[in-house]
Structure 1
Amino acid sequence: MTMRRRLLTAFALACALPLAAQAQVYPNKPVRVVVPQPPGGGFDTVGRLMADRLGRQTGQPFVVDNRTGSGTLVGTDFAAKAPADGYTLLVGSVSNLALNPGLYANLPYDSMRDFEPVGLLVSYSYTLVARKDLPQQNLRDVLAYAKANPGKLTYASAGVGSGQHVLAAALWHMAGVDVAHIPYRGAQPAYQDLLGGRVDLFFDLSPTARVQVDAGKAKALAVSGAARNPMHPEVPTVQESGADLQLESWFGLFAPAKTPPEVLQRLRAEFAKMAALPEVQEALVKGGGKPLALVGDDARTVVRRDVDTWPRIVKTLAIRAE
């Protein structure tokens, strides 16, 4: 029996060696980073930053794949169903992981069950901007006017179910006011009408809104984060303005569930190294973001909080994706 045990042990070790060797050399071929939005937006910007730095660190290309369709649904579902080998990763955010479960009655993936967080890199607040000639100068004034004049004010969004739509709708709901929604197909046409004075308000990611505010083409009324945004320290938060609402849109890297622990460990180690780089943190701050550098369970805690919170809010608002 002793000899038999030795043979079985030797056989088990021999079988394990290829797997151990594979984990040690990961990655040994290009890694796909799925961005579920077109080039140019927040998903793409963060995805390309992560891909570039991780590729340099590991010596293997991390290639961005802009896989679009149905908002963020197509790309996210593709990543959820990809082989769990570490060679297909997803750029995840509040939009595709926390809002989609409330927007779709039959979501084809489960945000917590189908993904393992590698890490969260950055968060961005939203800024409520107004056309520059709007008489109201702050959010308190907007809410007071909206209470007295239901449906007279209008707000733009980048589409039904977008982050801009959900956040604004939640604000009006919690404040008990009626502001008319004007959905657009993307932020660019929404800004065209805001700057042209054809729509009154727009709740957009702060880095994008900053461009219009700094150019004097629109004015900032409030920011959605827990604290004021360093880009516009004079602009109060939504909570300071009398509404109990806050949201920051985080972005990070996720792997399909059942990715081998050794691969996840390597990915998380490389992610932590990348997130700590001074040039990465400088680029994030310069772009209007708040560096997070949350890895593994710390990232999962933040994701779980928003996955538990925002789908309930979306369903209360009766918003459904187009």
Structure 2
Amino acid sequence: MYGFSRNGGGLLPRLALCAAALLGASVAHAAYPERPVRVIVPFAAGGGADIVARLVFKGVSEQLGKAFIIDNRGGAGGIIGTDAVAKAEPDGYTLLLGQSGPNAINPSVYSKLPYDARKDFAPVTQLTRYPYVVAVKKQLPVDNLKELIALAKRQPGTLTVSTAGQGSSAHLAIELFMRQAGISINAVPYKGAGPALLDVVGGTVDMTFGDAASASKQAQAKNVKAVAVTGAKRSPLLPDVPTVAEAGVPGYEASAWHGVLAPRGTPEPIIRTLQAAIVKVLADPALKARLAEDGIETVGSSPEEFNRALLAEIDKWHTVVVEANIKLE
């Protein structure tokens, strides 16, 4: 409540000071960014997250007139880079290229994390979503998902499925599939999606949930059989291949994603400036076409929509992790 001072000061001078302070803060935020912005990608250069970050933030840099510098900080399943952003100054000059693994799955598969995925970040926007392809070796006597499920039920625990790593988003998609389909398949962890897919091509393992770009190429070359995609809709790379839900497991959906997050406490005007610029970049037909080559769909959500989606993802994968008893240290 405003009051009057005994030395002649009063309500009007105080209001003037408050207005000046608010105007100064507004001008400071309106000028954002005044210097280069660092975007931490918690994975090595050259991977999918790195490619998305460089494509998107090249456009954002052009929109906002300052450099957005990609800083690759890989290691520990994305934990190192993600934690660096959680502990950064909330001034808009350090951002995170978030992904389903570090931000939605790690909170459940690791007993301890140095950051709180629910509380330590301010969502800006979801950039992308992309499904996995259920690819089986060509020697397996199945031609569609229903036949694969039937075979797994006849031979419980005998089929093998390669994963991109224990606790990875592809691994969780497999665990969710097994539970909803009522089957048991032996999951074999690999160091990455590439080796996991190559051993299906070579016939060493029976199947994998591979990334759409690589798995579709192998399917088109008839090195594997693509029997379903895990997303909510079909992939443009494999338009004749049904979704898992269409092919016999109603309600199933598993997609990975990228998004932009800032440290908690980042001023809302900065969040809004970033979101508006990023959404404009994501609407560019050339960018959409480039990402579609890898089976990636652009999103461009509001901060509120992204926050709701992220919290729902954390809850969804927590249930799967608990039921499958997956733990990493």
Per-residue CA deviation, residues 153-192 of structure 1 (Å, 9 max, x unaligned), is 1110111001121111221233222211111111222233
**Which runs of structure 1 show a deviation greater than 4 angstroms over 4 or more consecutive aligned residues?**
13-18
Mark the runs of 5 or more structure 2 residues left unpaired by the alignment. Answer: none
Matched, 1:264 2:267: no
Q: 1:38 aligns with which of 41, 44, 54?
A: 44
Amino acid at match of 1:288: G
Between 150-159 and 280-289, the greater mean CA deviation after superposition:
280-289
CA distance in 1, matches of 2:239, 2:64: 39
Determine if contact 2:110/2:327 at 8 Å carries over to the other structure. yes
Matched, 1:129 2:132: no
Q: 1:85 aligns with which of 88, 91, 100?
A: 91
Per-residue CA deviation, residues 37-78 of structure 1 (Å, 9 max, x unaligned), is 122332112111121111111111111111111112111111
CA distance in 2, matches of 1:271, 1:71: 26
CA distance in 1, matches of 2:59, 2:310: 23
For residue 204 of structure 2, what is the aligned residue in structure 1?
198
Amino acid at match of 2:311: R
Between 81-90 and 18-27, the greater mean CA deviation after superposition:
18-27
Matched, 1:273 2:280: yes
For residue 73 of structure 1, what is the aligned residue in structure 2?
79
Equivalent residues in 2 for 1:276-291 (5 A)? 276-291=283-298
For residue 115 of structure 1, what is the aligned residue in structure 2?
121
CA distance in 2, matches of 1:239, 1:188: 25
CA distance in 1, matches of 2:244, 2:289: 26
**Root-mean-square deviation over aligned CA pairs:** 1.8
- Alpha-carbon distance, 1:315 to partner: 1.4
For residue 313 of structure 2, what is the aligned residue in structure 1?
306
For residue 326 of structure 2, what is the aligned residue in structure 1?
319
| TM value normalised by structure 1 | 0.93
Instruction: Name the SS for the 2:77 alignment partner.
Output: coil
CA distance in 2, matches of 1:112, 1:18: 31
- Alpha-carbon distance, 1:132 to partner: 2.3
Per-residue CA deviation, residues 20-47 of structure 1 (Å, 9 max, x unaligned), is 3321211111111111112233211211
| Identity, % of aligned positions | 38
Between 265-274 and 14-23, the greater mean CA deviation after superposition:
14-23
Instruction: Name the SS for the 1:113 alignment partner.
Output: coil
For residue 224 of structure 1, what is the aligned residue in structure 2?
230
Between 211-220 and 50-59, the greater mean CA deviation after superposition:
211-220
CA distance in 1, matches of 2:104, 2:253: 14
Q: 1:57 aligns with which of 38, 63, 67?
A: 63
Matched, 1:249 2:264: no
For residue 25 of structure 2, what is the aligned residue in structure 1?
19
- Alpha-carbon distance, 1:312 to partner: 1.5
Determine if contact 2:213/2:293 at 8 Å carries over to the other structure. no
Between 274-283 and 247-256, the greater mean CA deviation after superposition:
274-283
Matched, 1:48 2:54: yes
Mark the runs of 5 or more structure 1 residues left unpaired by the alignment. Answer: none
For residue 100 of structure 2, what is the aligned residue in structure 1?
94
Larger Rg: 2
Per-residue CA deviation, residues 263-284 of structure 1 (Å, 9 max, x unaligned), is 1121122122222222222223
Determine if contact 2:132/2:231 at 8 Å carries over to the other structure. yes
CA distance in 1, matches of 2:285, 2:238: 23
| TM value normalised by structure 2 | 0.91
- Alpha-carbon distance, 1:15 to partner: 4.3
* Number of corresponding residues: 322
CA distance in 2, matches of 1:246, 1:163: 12
Q: 1:174 aligns with which of 170, 177, 180?
A: 180
Amino acid at match of 2:40: V
For residue 292 of structure 1, what is the aligned residue in structure 2?
299
Determine if contact 1:118/1:271 at 8 Å carries over to the other structure. no
